[in-house]
Structure 1
Amino acid sequence: MAAPYLEPKDWYPTLPTAYVSAIVLLTDDRDRVLLVKPNYRDYWALPGGILDPDEQPHECAEREVVEETGLKIEARALLVVDFVPPLGDRPKPMINFLFDGGLVADPGLIRLQTDELDDFDFFSWKEASARLPDLTAPRIPAAREARQTGRPVYLPATR
């Protein structure tokens, strides 16, 4: 038996929802990955954050990089999309967009946002992956693959 038709105002609230974030891969002239160290977490992260209302993922990525590092970048190619299931205090899944931000030609221009971040540094691809939590570490090799092949990578949640 078919479900009864619901008006959009009644139907949309019944749909599953997710949080959305956007992050950026930036590398230096030695092909090392830029990570930032949030002061509210025990681990390092790629620059980025949660979308604001009415903001598109690439706009969020660009805004967050400016806020966190002072670097004005263009969120270029989409490298990775990943899906992270609800976890801990987060009751909904997270969909994350990872964009290519290109090369940081002059790391001396980085101005760290000290309200939220304690440090930044450039790491080899392997080191960068090791500094991220197990749940998000696969973003680093996936981003490298996407940069090399020119094709985005989708990372579904592991179960």
Structure 2
Amino acid sequence: MTFTDEAVWYASLPTAYGTAAALISAPAGEVLLVKPNYRAHWSLPGGILEDGEPPHAGCAREVREELGIDVPVGPLLAVDWVAPEGPRPKPMIAFVFDGGVLADPSAIVLQEAELDEFRFVPPSAVPGYLPPPMALRVAAAVTARGSGAAASYGGAVYVPTVRGAG
């Protein structure tokens, strides 16, 4: 029996990109969305994970960078697999964490190099701001937060549709 060198074997495995975002809401339940200046649609605060960065740490870092605030990164609410599309040759795994309730949005300082604005929108209005796959991910996260299903990683909601970018 021939064994492959461990480093060679690991180098041969498929990889994926990772993203992490925070579901942050106002006291009345509206969802915080941000408008990146480099694409047409809105998004939750968050972004691409750095190499080797744990998703919850990447979520906290991205929120701090984008909004200038530190939020407690709570339970994982949703995980989504996003197929390769266009210039992105690998799939993405998208994590959505509970970013809690933000009672005073005046503390937000937008990262002007990446974001044009932010706003709180009712959960029912989210599909008007996001591409359908991303809207499904946010709806799953809102549902998980409301149901208490996000008590642990094992309680995360997976959006099980196979589709393109989100």
- Matched with 1:158 is 162
Residue 56 of structure 1 is matched in structure 2 by: 54
> Is the contact between residue 85 and residue 157 of structure 1 (CA under 8 Å) also seen in structure 2?
no
Q: Which range moved further: 134-143 or 23-32? A: 134-143
**C-alpha separation between the residues in 2 aligned to 1:54 and 1:74?**
21
Distance (whole Å) between structure 2 residues aligned to residue 71 and residue 9 of structure 1: 40
The alignment covers a number of residue pairs equal to: 157
SS of corresponding position for 1:29: coil
TM-score w.r.t. the length of structure 1 is: 0.93
1:1-22 Cα deviation digits (max 9, x unpaired) = xx95322112112211100110
SS of residue in 1 equivalent to 2:132: coil
Q: Which residue of 1 aligns with 2:138?
A: 140
Partner of 2:41: 43
Q: 1:7-156 maps to which residues of 2 (within 5 A)? A: 7-151=5-149, 152-156=156-160
Map Cα deviations across residues 48-74 of structure 1 (whole Å, 9 max, x no partner): 011112321101101111111111111
Contact 1:129 1:140 in 2 (8 A): no
User: Amino acid of the residue matched to residue 80 of structure 1?
Assistant: A
Tell me the C-alpha RMSD between the 2 structures.
Answer: 1.4
Aligned-partner Cα distance in 1 for 2:114–2:83: 25
Q: Secondary structure at the match of 1:137?
A: helix
Could you tell me whether the CA contact under 8 Å between 1:85 and 1:93 is conserved in 2? yes
SS of the residue aligned with 1:49? strand
Measured in 2, the distance between the counterparts of 1:133 and 1:11 equals 37
- Deviation, structure 1 residue 120: 0.3
Is the partner of 1:26 in helix, strand or coil?
strand
Give the structure-2-normalised TM-score: 0.89
Find the aligned partners of 1:19 and 1:6 in 2 and give their Cα distance. 25
Q: Which amino acid aligns with 1:121?
A: R
Q: Percent identity?
A: 48
